[in-house]
Amino acid sequence: MVVLPDIRQRGGGLGADAESRLEEGQGLARAIGIEVVEAFILPIRTVRPATLFGEGQVERIAVACNQSDAELVIVDGALSAIQQRNLEEKLKRKVIDRTGLILEIFGERAATAEGRLQVELAHLDYQAGRLVRSWTHLERQRGGFGFLGGPGETQIEADRRLIRNRMARLRRELEQVRRTRGLHRERRQRAPWPVIALVGYTNAGKSTLFNRLTGADVMAEDLLFATLDPTMRAIRLPGVEKAILSDTVGFISDLPTQLVAAFRATLEEVTAADVIVHVRDVANLASADQKAEVEQILADLGVIGEAGSTIPIVEAWNKWDLLTPEEQAMRQDLIAAKIAEVPVVPISALTGAGVETLLDKLGEMLTGSAQTLELTVPLSDGQRLAWLHAHGDIISENQVDIAEIGPAMRIKVRLTPRELGRFTSL
């Protein structure tokens, strides 16, 4: 059963968004195979420290649980450890909150060594404050990580230090994995291919687009967080012989803080991209909120700053096929009015409509606006000279002698901003 607390203090609250948020909560539950027997919103005017909900509301949940035979209550909000325990006692059922639920999903999905370490670390961090074992491991024995490995859930209660030690070890392992990945990224950065990162809210259609563009077979499903670990493939674009396309983990509102930190590293791939495609589900009622959420995370990653984004962004308005002709026309007007501040391409990753236009746009963004520059490179710097000859459009060059650096080449060359970025990072 999913219960959404709609907290309305100080005139806040979810208001009209509550329904789509409740829908999302159910989607999260389904994402790990939970059958939702009932879902409802409870408005909260005063937060009760002991139970979050008021007495009558707890009663209402209890009755609903009994009527529908629910085994688990998901509170799609944040519960303190005490609130969780008290609710469990009163309802005589397992209760988990949004963070707990998302952690469960991530635990089930993470496939790479790094992803698994990150999720386990996040989970331990969450549990350390609660000293209860992950409910799935208690109730469902679904394998997974087998937190702390040993038999008997009393282990966690028995020793907080054990958790701390394990977390310290995980952090070290993670550090090691990241160092290796950092090396990979550096190597890739030195490669001449541009990187295009697909980002967007969970379920927006990133993997579907990724598959369409690469012919790959990445899991794309009507599941929240279908993709957790970044996947990369080479693609061709107009005017670009080879580019690397990267599919990433989807964003969601109220991502558990433990996971924000943990997945930051995964998302750091995005900060190394040359172009970001922000895939948006424009058929979703919460599309505008989702966009704000994604942009907030991009800002946290340092991609969007006060002066705009440091990496060019294009918005792919996906699921266009789900819109009525009137809705399409309305959005076309918005696109024409340039309200998005970035280029917008309407697409359907599912049918392929608009995808060619998106590719053209990407090609243009990667190759366009080359500038003519005059660079002076010491003759001794063979690496940079070779790079310029391999990648730049050389207009002229002549040898000069400069007091401080000795013999050098003065080269007039056309480079795109991306190429210039690569050249300076050589």
Taking Cα atoms as reference points, which of 128, 122, 120, 129 lies closest to residue 80? Answer: 129
Compute the distance between CA of residue 250 and CA of residue 204 in angstroms, rounded to an integer.
8
Q: Pick between residue 221 and residue 341 the one whose CB is nearest to ligand GTP.
A: 221
Classify 354 in phi/psi space as left (phi over 0), alpha (psi -120 to 50) or beta. left
Phi, psi of 242 (to 5 degrees): -150, 130
The gap between the terminal CA atoms of the chain, to the nearest Å, is 55
Compute the distance between CA of residue 403 and CA of residue 405 in angstroms, rounded to an integer.
6
Using N-to-C axis directions, what is the helix angle for 55-68 and 81-91, rounded to 10°? 50
Residue with CB nearest ligand GTP?
250
Q: Pick between residue 207 and residue 416 the one whose CB is nearest to Mg ion.
A: 207
From the list ligand GTP, Mg ion, none, pick the one residue 348 interacts with, judged by a Cβ distance below 5 to 8 Å according to partner type.
Answer: ligand GTP
From the list Mg ion, ligand GTP, none, pick the one residue 221 interacts with, judged by a Cβ distance below 5 to 8 Å according to partner type.
Answer: ligand GTP
Compute the distance between CA of residue 196 and CA of residue 245 in angstroms, rounded to an integer.
5
Binding status of residue 318 toward Mg ion by CB under 5 A = no
Q: Dump strand ranges (E) for 186-274.
A: 195-199, 231-237, 240-247
CB of 227 to ligand GTP, least distance (A): 3
Residues numbered 335 to 354 that lie near ligand GTP (CB under 6 A) are 348-350
Phi, psi of 414 (to 5 degrees): -100, 125
Choose, by CB under 6 A, the member of 86, 127, 136, 203 that binds ligand GTP: 203
* Selected range binding ligand GTP among 6-14, 196-204, 332-340, 368-376, rule: CB under 6 A: 196-204
From the list Mg ion, ligand GTP, none, pick the one residue 18 interacts with, judged by a Cβ distance below 5 to 8 Å according to partner type.
Answer: none
Buried b or exposed e, range 205-234, using 16+ CB within 10 angstroms: bbbbbbbbbbebeeebeebbbbbbbbbbbe
Binding status of residue 105 toward ligand GTP by CB under 6 A = no
Helix, coil or strand: residue 62: helix
Q: Is 226 annotated as a binding residue?
A: yes
Choose, by CB under 6 A, the member of 18, 78, 322, 335 that binds ligand GTP: 322
Number of residues that bind Mg ion (CB under 5 A): 4
From the list ligand GTP, Mg ion, none, pick the one residue 204 interacts with, judged by a Cβ distance below 5 to 8 Å according to partner type.
Answer: ligand GTP
CB of 149 to ligand GTP, least distance (A): 29
Number of residues that bind ligand GTP (CB under 6 A): 24
Contacts to Mg ion by CB under 5 A: 206-207, 226-227
Per CB under 6 A, residues contacting ligand GTP are 200, 202-208, 220-227, 250, 318-319, 321-322, 348-350
